[in-house]
Structures are given as C-alpha cells and as structure tokens.
Amino acid sequence: MSDPNVLLPVQQNWSCHNCGGCCREHQINLSEDEKQRIEKQNWTVAQGVPGDRPLIVPLGAGWRLNHQDDGACVFLDSGGLCRIHTRFGEPAKPLACRLYPYAIHPAGNGLTVSLRFSCPSVVSSLGTRVTAQREQLQSLCREVVPADFRNAELPVLANRRSVSWDELRVLMAFLERGLADRSLPFQERLLQTLAWFQFLEQVDGEMLQENNLSEVMTILVEAARRACDAGGYGTLPPSRTGRMMFRQLIAQLLRHDTQRSVLEGWKHRLRMLTSGLRFTSGRGLVPPLDDPASVRTAFGESAAGPHQPVSFAAVEAFGRELPGETDELFERYFHVKLQGNHFFGRAFYDYSLLDGFRTLALMFPATLWTARLRALQAGRDRLLADDVRAALAILDHNLGYSPVLQLRSSRSRIRQLAVMQQIERLCFHYGGE
C-alpha cells in the first residue's frame, strides 16, 4: 500500500539543539526488539555509561531505560548528547526518543503531525522547517502508525455527536482562518472562536445535517463577530469560583512528575497535595515548583536562579502589557495543535472537539498567568518574550500527557467553566490590555 498523505504544520520549525531536557524528563519504554538491540551494542563503563546499575530495567510486563542519579537517562553524556546516537547513529535509538517532540495522529485516510511545545526548540521554532522534514516523518509514520489507522474512531463534536473527517476539515478550516486573522489581536481571535463553539453547541442536531456544517458555521461566525463587536463578550472579570478552578488547572499543568520524583513516593505526593491546596485557596505565597530541565537549560537564569517568593495577589496585580512576540507564539501554537488533531479523542483524554478546544483555549490565560509568576520570581515587573515561551514549554509538557488531567474532576472542571462562561473571561482578563 502507498504511504498515506501526511499533513504537516507549515508555520513551525524544529531541530534538536541537544539541551538534554527530554532525556531527563521522560521515561523511555522499550519493545523487546529495542531491548535486544541495545544489549547487542555491548556497552561498558569505558564508553561512559554508569557501571553501578543495569542500563535496562523491568517496567510492568516490559522494559524501560534506566536513569542516572540526577534523573538523566543512562545514555545521556555530560554534553547533552545521547551515547547511542553518537556511537551508532540516530536509527539505533529507541523509537520513543526518535519520535519526540513529534506526535502523529489519524486524520481519516491520512495522518497529521503535531509537536510538543515542551521542547524549547519547538516553543522557539528553532531549526529546519517541519515541512522540509517530510521524508523522515513519513518514515516515522511507517514505524509508529498501525496498518488499520483508517478505522480510528470519528471525532466527537459534543454530547456524543460524532462528525465525519470531512466535517472536521471544514471546522478546522474555519478555526484556522479565525485564529490567523492578524487584523485582530490574538486574544480577540480566540474570543471569537470560543463564541462560535458556544453557539455551535446550542445548534440543534437536526439543523446540523451532513454537508451543511459550512453553512451553519458561516452563520455562527457572523453572529459571533456581532456579539464580540457589541462588546461585553468575555469582558467581565472572572468570578471567584472561575478563578479558583483556573488556578486548580494551572496547579495540575505545573506539576513536574519525573521518574525521580515518583521514586520519592509519599513525599512527592504530599508536596503535590499541599501545592494543590494552596492553588485552590489562592492566598499567601505561590508554592515553589521545579522547572523541567529543558526549561532551565534553554531559558537560563530566570528559571534556574533562586526564585523570589511571590504571592498570588502579586500575580493578579501584575500589569497586562504583553511582549510583542506573544501573538505569533500563540498563533503558531494553535496552528500546530489544531492541524495536528492534538486536542481531542485518543490523543487528548478522549475529549470531544468542544471540550478539547476549550482546554486548549485555557492554555492562553494559563500560560500568561505562569509567565507573570516567572517574571515576578525573577524580580521583574514586565513580561519578556522568554517568560511566555518558558511558561508555555512548562505547561504543554503535561497537556495531553499527564494522567492527572484525565481525571473525571478535571474534565468536569472544563465543562463547568464553559457553562459559567468563565473561559472567555479568563482569556480576556489575563490576555493583555
């Protein structure tokens, strides 16, 4: 069978810059073949790997790569390079290492590629254009994607109503156009697209017949534009409950669970519980949380230095001016996640399109809240572009991957925030002047 068509994000660059972050943050599971291949590579202490522990350890019924004392993969050298890659080349590495930061998802008869913004080179769009890496990505798709990917479940719009892949393409085309409209600040574009979805949810199933999604969307886009032009849409401040739920979401997104922290057992769990309670109350000081290694390496002292204590009140009182690069960053982020089908279905806790998009929309205020916190921790009263990039890298590490966000309570929080119309207010309140 010929290779399926693979859709790639056109606005994104990426090459690995060897910060070593992913080699410190991720657990690398191995297939039996990969285990045997690494064992045949005959690693010895003379080649730099640790001699006091096995390189591969059991994980459930399978295997994983072991870690050094500082949490780094046993094959990571002091220069941030992978020893397997250095000795045997990229194809000799486990598939999970070769895939990151890419994520491949079904899209009807074809496939689509997204990226994880937890990699600092992705968040800063450094390196080769993704569209120039088609051959390598097509080869990865052949390894990763099961032969029956065309049978993947259809996306669910909301309330268990599924849409065809063609309808999804129609919807995505509207969203992409709306979010790329540079005549408006990104915040306004986001508010308008949220309004479309709010109206779409209210459209009767009968009215939304096969093949007329485009007509319905055209009407909703115009209605949303008028609602936003008339003012008031999302411009009220978030309620106390809305803010509390928002901080709970941020606490979950800020969690930093690594192999090392998991081994700490109850101490780590207690720290996370205490931190969650502090975020829920929103009073006193924001609890200190470790940054992922990639963020410390890529964004330097503001992340790595000793943080100044910051109160929740100070984050709230922070000025609303945003760095000029903010719109470009979020436009690119949404482009990558939307065209990559990286916000619903199997790739995203089995969320519907509406709930997934609302969760993605909340990344906008959540990132800007976290960027404020980082600026204050570094003793600044203005945001730098790197505060926003670092915050997005931290939060996107968990989005779609942390099991905490899969909990029923996390899902129902998104629904409640939507019902109370708090998502628009949060996007407006934290999204600039």
Of 100 and 197, the one with the shorter C-beta distance to ligand SF4 is 100
Angle at 199 between CA 233 and CA 421, to 5 degrees: 45
- For residue 169, with 0-12 CB atoms within 10 Å meaning exposed, 13-18 middle and 19 or more buried, which class applies? middle
Select from 4, 8, 9, 22 the one that contacts ligand SF4 (CB under 6 A).
Answer: 22
Least distance from C-beta 150 to ligand SF4, angstroms?
30
Least distance from C-beta 24 to ligand SF4, angstroms?
9
Select from 294, 339, 352, 377 the one that contacts ligand SF4 (CB under 6 A).
Answer: 294
Select from 4, 9, 101, 365 the one that contacts ligand SF4 (CB under 6 A).
Answer: 101
Least distance from C-beta 82 to ligand SF4, angstroms?
8
CA distance 139 to 137: 5
86 contributes a contact to ligand SF4 by CB under 6 A? no
17 contributes a contact to ligand SF4 by CB under 6 A? yes
Of 28 and 405, the one with the shorter C-beta distance to ligand SF4 is 28
Q: Which of residues 162-221 bind ligand SF4 (CB under 6 A)?
A: none
Contact pattern for ligand SF4 over residues 111 through 140, marking x by CB under 6 A: --------xxx-------------------
Task: List Cα–Cα distances, 163 to 2, 106, 350, 353, in angstroms.
Answer: 26, 14, 14, 10
Run of H or E including 375: helix 353-377
Closest CA to 287 of 257, 310, 258, 315: 310
20 contributes a contact to ligand SF4 by CB under 6 A? yes
Task: List Cα–Cα distances, 415 to 67, 157, 412, in angstroms.
Answer: 39, 14, 5
Select from 4, 8, 16, 362 the one that contacts ligand SF4 (CB under 6 A).
Answer: 16
Task: List Cα–Cα distances, 55 to 28, 68, 146, 310, in angstroms.
Answer: 12, 9, 29, 41
422 contributes a contact to ligand SF4 by CB under 6 A? no
CA distance 225 to 141: 39
Helices (H), 79-185: 83-88, 95-99, 120-123, 134-144, 165-179
Least distance from C-beta 144 to ligand SF4, angstroms?
17
18 contributes a contact to ligand SF4 by CB under 6 A? yes
The span of 10-18, 65-73, 213-221, 380-388 binding ligand SF4 (CB under 6 A) equals 10-18
- Cα 431 to its chain centre, rounded Å, is 18
Q: Which residues contact 80 (CB under 8 A, 6 or more apart)?
A: 18, 19, 20, 23, 297
21 contributes a contact to ligand SF4 by CB under 6 A? yes
Closest CA to 380 of 432, 324, 326, 303: 303
CA distance 285 to 296: 22
Of 21 and 108, the one with the shorter C-beta distance to ligand SF4 is 21
Contact pattern for ligand SF4 over residues 236 through 275, marking x by CB under 6 A: ----------------------------------------
Of 100 and 348, the one with the shorter C-beta distance to ligand SF4 is 100
What number of chain residues touch ligand SF4 (CB under 6 A)?
13
Binding site for ligand SF4 (CB under 6 A): 16-22, 100-101, 119-121, 294
